[in-house]
Amino acid sequence: MNKFINENLLKMNTEEFLSNIKKAFNEVFSNGNIEKINLMKYLSEEKWKNIKKCGLLLPFLPEKFGGRKNNQFEIQEVLRIAGNYGVPITLRTGIEGALVLQPLVEYGNQEQIEKGLEMIFNGEGGGLGITEPNTSGSAIAKEMQSYYEYIDENTIHVKADKYWQGNSQSDFLLVAAKEKKNEKISKIISLILVPREYITYDVLNSEGLKAVRYAVNHIDADIPAKNIIKLSENKANCLREFQNIFIRSRLQLVGMTHGIMEFIIKNIINFARKEIDFVQNELNEIKNTYEISKIMYNYTCNNISPEKSVADKLMEANILKTLATEYTYKAAQIAQKLLGAKGFETGHPISNVAIDFRPFTIFEGPNDMLYAEIYDQFSRATTSEKKDGIRINKNSTIYERFLSDKRFKKFENTFINNIINESNELIKFLKNHTLNEIDQVKKVFVGKILARLFLLLQSESDNVIKFLMRDIRKDIIDFEYNE
């Protein structure tokens, strides 16, 4: 499967490989070329393919399929490097790497993988078709209406409408659908590799992210049955495997957000007037969000592995997704504000970052919904706890559960633990509320507090600790206001 991959890229060590990626981006976005690129429109396929030929997606591809050796750091680095050139660039890298290539090679058979890799590395790549116009956020629930049914043993008819798919109009989509049999749609989800020739498009005129082609994709066609990727044949629980696509994607997302944070800092220092005290205060806010971003980035590099399941990391994935996007969006908003009128000038390096980035707080689960899920995952027994016969007493306080949860305890930091214990306001809050009294609205605010505590335990900077404690106090006030 190496016929479309330069084997010299596989022989490079990590430092050489990443330097090669940076060089590829610099050639496309150099001062001489940047004037010819308008990311408020689209990066040409020719330029994108040139970057991919330099190995951009190889860290996402397992070695047995012709990719690089398993290295989570390389995955995070290519996403971070891409983020230094704008939101759409790292988003497209993430779509093709995490949402298309990784599921394809994990669940596809050899023929499907070869066909998909050919289009990814030699063509315009692909996208993942999940959400639908009429169900949107209920992407994987019973509301999904996309289906396929067998015409004969070699042919299926696919009927699907997919909404807001990045890389729409590329060579193919991996389309999520359920089998229809005897006029009934099953609950089991499969992925179908659908080439562009079977898809029609209504192009979406989005407010931002114009450099990532979005559309409503319509499929109503007979296609070869061999294009079905049946998750149920690969794993015992296909829905859980389907969810794992997004767990891994959320964990890796921090590579994208960290690169965007670097892009913001690199550009804002060239325009902000630092001699003004309030401006300096706002720049410090951006700096603190960047330091928090580094904590999340390091966590992913050190605790996630491409070849290992991430099924046990749902709470951590939701923490990284919510806080990485929340703080990066905050930094983008501050940067745009500091630019004044320039912040709304088309073509300015910072002008479109905030509007391009805002959907990150919504895509792959709106943040408030994920904060509530963080609380749910915290208040339930983990897989390892269930194996040990441990049950969570719903009458216990949040503080008692916090002390028993190994996901928090593994960060042994006596200094931070002392800070938490000395914070009367926080400890009082955690001790005053039991697990069974937290309703749907309160879950959101407790989820925010737990997410920040997860990062606080990994903090080493006094400024970051103060910053996170300040935000935790705000979350407590929001909780009490909504009681």
Residue pLDDT, tens place only, 396-425? 999 999 999 999 987 766 656 667 767 788
In contact, 261 and 290? CB cutoff 8 Å: yes
pLDDT in tens, 191-217: 999 999 999 998 888 788 877 888 899
Which of the two residues, 273 and 256, has the higher pLDDT score?
256
For residue range 22-49, list pLDDT tens digits in order.
Answer: 999 988 887 655 545 555 455 678 888 8
* Residue 476 near residue 446, CB atoms below 8 Å: no
For the cut 60, the answer to whether the pLDDT of residue 236 exceeds it is no
- Residues 306-322, mean pLDDT to the nearest whole number: 93
What CATH homologous superfamily does 128-234 map to?
Butyryl-CoA Dehydrogenase, subunit A, domain 2 (2.40.110.10)
pLDDT tens digits, one per residue of 148-177: 999 999 999 999 999 887 778 889 999 999
388: its two tokens = 């040990």
Average pLDDT score, the chain? 88
CA 36 to CA 76: how far, in whole Å?
Answer: 28
Does CATH place domain 8-125 in 1.10.540.10? Answer: yes
Q: Domain spans of the chain?
A: 8-125, 128-234, 385-483
Task: Quote the pLDDT of residue 440.
Answer: 93
Range of weakest confidence among 174-178, 213-217, 256-260, 392-396: 213-217
**424-432 helix and 462-481 helix, angle to the nearest 10 degrees:** 40
Among 55-69, 96-110, 145-159, 331-345, the least confident range:
331-345
pLDDT top residue among 142 and 187? 187
Say what the pLDDT of residue 142 is.
67
Q: Quick check: 382 pLDDT over 90?
A: yes
The residue ranking higher by pLDDT, 130 or 206, is 130
Q: Do domains 8-125 and 128-234 have the same CATH topology?
A: no
